[in-house]
Amino acid sequence: DAHDRQAIERQVMQELDKMEFYVYEIDETIKAK
């Protein structure tokens, strides 16, 4: 069902955003040292 697929895609995008933010934070922490 298309609605379910949209919901899953939205969830995946949110997870990717979290991962990107996490990687960015680590990168900034490493640079700060």
The 10s digit of each residue's pLDDT in 3-31 is: 999 999 999 999 999 999 999 999 999 99
Confidence at residue 2, expressed as pLDDT on a 0 to 100 scale: 92
Confidence at residue 3, expressed as pLDDT on a 0 to 100 scale: 93
Confidence at residue 33, expressed as pLDDT on a 0 to 100 scale: 80
On whether the pTM is more than 0.75, the answer is no
**6-24: burial string, b at 16+ Cβ within 10 Å, e else:** eeeeeeeeeeeeeeeeeee
Confidence at residue 5, expressed as pLDDT on a 0 to 100 scale: 97
